Amino acid sequence: MPTQQRNILTRFLIWRIKHIPQKQFVYIMSIAVGLLAGIGAVVLKNLTHLIQNLLQGKLIAHYQTAFYFIFPLIGLTLAFLAMRYIIRNKVSHGIPSTLYAISKRKGFMRPFQMFGSLITAPITVGFGGSVGLEGPTVATGAAISSNLSRLFHMNQPTRTLLIGCAGAGAMSAIFKAPIAAIIFAVEVFSLDLTLISMVPLLLASVSAITTSYFFLGTDILLPFNITEKFTINDIPFYILLGLVASMVSIYYTKMYSNIQDFFEKIASPIKRLLIGGIGLGILVYFIPPLYGEGFDVINNLVQGNPQAALENNFFNLDLSSIWVVILLLAGLVVFKIIASALTFGAGGVGGIFAPTLFMGSIMGNCFAKIINNLGLLNNPVSESNFTLVGMTGLMAGVLHAPLTAIFLIAEVTGGYELFIPLMITAAISFSLTKFFIPHSVYTMELGRKGDLITHDKDHAVLTLMDIKTVIERDFIAISPNMTLGDMVHQAVIKSKRNLFPVLDTKTNNLEGIILLDDLRPVMFDQNLYDKIKAAELMHNPPDIIDLNNDKMTEVMRKFQDTGAWNLPVINDGKYYGFVSKSKLLTAYRRKLIDFSSK
């Protein structure tokens, strides 16, 4: 930043501190963050639809559907080139990258993340990438929020809160569902819903939805209206739908994880691009509804017009047969997550929120059609209602966000007629899925590494702590061959510690430790100074902390299991220092105070 701009910013910060209280400034920032997140949502949506309209309106409509095969590969290639030569950084998945920034980077996000998704996500989705725009929108807003917070010298808890405000603003602008957006920020970003956090979230959500209405008018992404009321007789079927949703959620998560693991083993980004792009092109060519986000398919299903979503099937199957329709719908459920995972594996940028809604709606609609056509009921169930509830069930299972799922569908339908079945299906799907899959698609990688922030405050505080800040390195080391006399004169007399690491002088490997209590019985007998060596007195430490592999939760567990007051730390197999329980607990208390002040 130029000196003149830095001086202006410094003067503004001084003026702000004198005239605007911190709480009011956070409110102002939350409004600004909501506004910017709303603008980001508008830009992403319009750019994507512009690309889709140019391609589908001019080329596919007037020539042939063979372009469905080549477009995804072209889009993924353009996104790859943009990342390599324009952005010069890899643009990671939206919400997981934001969660990583919160848990391991103290809420700091790199500047390129403010525009990286704005460039690559519309290209990916517009050219047929089978992913959504919600994740990139959230990531864009979060990055803007993070860098604004850094510019105005906000502390870590405030940065985290404003990132949550960006998430709420993005979802509010996309779906025009401000309440569900707030709940989304709380569930996904693990914010504490207190009065301190509620007001900024509310302001950001309202600011973003106002922005969306200003630029996009009253257009709603999911324009639903409930026309058929919920009946008590349908409860058993909603329970069964919850079970089906949990099974589909497990399939979704496992398939996504396995395909991502497959691509991670491929070192060359070009090979990943070709394999993923060609695979996606084949799927989209044979199953055109997999092209892009798929909200048109969802709307056709809710409106009772599945034929409109399936009319371009490659095999020209007869859609007058309901069982053919059911078969094709089931195929969409099976292959959508494969198409999405291939998009990500090839290097595309997008989110999994839209694919979840897509699969959930089709799952619910297909389930209702099967129930109605088995000939077991006198009064058929509502296919549109089951389509809506199916989205809730899959969101609850895949995203581990049951409250977001319930309130999103309740808000976009303009009422709460389906509140009971929404709660039943979401609760069953979430509970069963979480039993088998502990972490959501958003958090599975962070969860496996122990880097995930959760609503468990103790775990969250430990996750936010940096182990390097509590390592002490002022211990005097001794060698195994050092005599008792040398230990007394070179270590005991000079050290303020009662603990001495014994190190191999050539490799710096930790051989053992010696406590002052181990030396005390012999250190005053000078006749033993040349007879006893360190190797005879040393012993193994109660446990060892690995700097590269042990998270703070594991460090705390080791102290608890061993009862030790100090544990040695190794880095790449070499001695690095010690962690004391007292310093660890002091740092934990300080972080807990900061965390609780959000």
DSSP 112-123: THHHHHHHHHHH
Token couple for 46: 């319009």
What is the structure's pLDDT at 595? 53
Distances (CA, A) of 95 to 91, 188, 290, 409: 12, 9, 22, 21
Measured between alpha carbons, how far is 284 from 74 in angstroms, rounded to an integer?
13
Helix count and strand count (H, E) for the chain:
26, 6
Pairing of strands 545-546, 574-580: unpaired
What lies within 8 Å, CB to CB, of 351 at 6+ separation is 93, 94, 95, 131, 132, 133, 134, 135, 136, 137, 138
Of 140, 199, 134, 186, residue with least CA distance to 160: 186
Q: How much is the pLDDT for 383? A: 87
Superfamily of domain 232-452: Clc chloride channel (1.10.3080.10)
Residue 92: how many CA atoms within 13 Å on its side-chain side? 12
Please state whether beta strands 545-546 and 566-571 pair in parallel, antiparallel, or not at all (unpaired).
Answer: parallel
For residue 598, the model assigns a pLDDT of 47
**Per-residue model confidence (pLDDT) at position 30:** 94
Task: Give, for all 598 residues of the chain, the pLDDT tens digit.
Answer: 566 666 787 787 788 787 888 889 999 999 999 999 999 999 999 999 888 888 866 555 544 566 778 889 999 999 999 999 999 888 877 787 888 777 777 778 888 889 999 999 999 999 989 999 988 999 999 999 999 988 888 888 888 889 999 999 999 999 888 999 999 988 887 766 666 778 999 999 999 999 999 988 877 777 777 777 888 889 999 999 999 999 999 999 999 999 988 998 998 999 999 999 999 999 988 888 888 888 888 887 777 777 766 766 666 667 778 888 888 889 999 999 999 999 999 999 998 888 999 999 999 999 999 999 987 778 888 888 899 999 999 999 998 889 999 999 888 876 678 889 999 999 999 999 999 988 888 776 555 444 444 444 445 555 556 677 788 888 888 888 888 888 888 888 888 888 899 998 888 888 898 888 888 888 888 888 888 888 888 888 889 988 888 877 788 888 888 888 888 998 888 898 898 887 777 776 666 655 555 4
Distance CA 573, CA 579 (A): 16
CATH superfamily of 460-596: CBS-domain (3.10.580.10)
Domains 3-216 and 232-452 are alike in CATH topology: yes
Return the amino acid letter for 215.
F
Angstrom distances, CA of residue 449 to CA of 4, 452, 557? 44, 8, 16
**Reported pTM:** 0.77
Contact 352, 135 (CB under 8 A): yes
**Cα separation, 152 vs 17, whole angstroms:** 11
Contact of 565 with 582, CB cutoff 8 Å? yes
Q: Which amino acid is at 29?
A: M
In this structure, the strands spanning 471-472 and 574-580 are: antiparallel
Phi/psi for 542 (5° steps) reads: -60, -35
Q: What is the pLDDT of residue 192?
A: 65
Domain boundaries, the chain: 3-216, 232-452, 460-596
Query: CA-CA distance, 447 to 440, in Å (whole number)?
Result: 9
Res 450: pLDDT? 47
Domain 3-216 has CATH 1.10.645.10: no
| Alpha carbons 346 and 349: distance in angstroms, whole number | 9
pLDDT of residue 20: 85
DSSP-assigned beta bridge partners for residue 290? none
Rounded to whole angstroms, the maximal C-alpha distance in the chain is 103
Closest of 487, 496, 543 to residue 514, by C-alpha: 487
Query: Measured between alpha carbons, how far is 215 from 202 in angstroms, rounded to an integer?
Result: 20
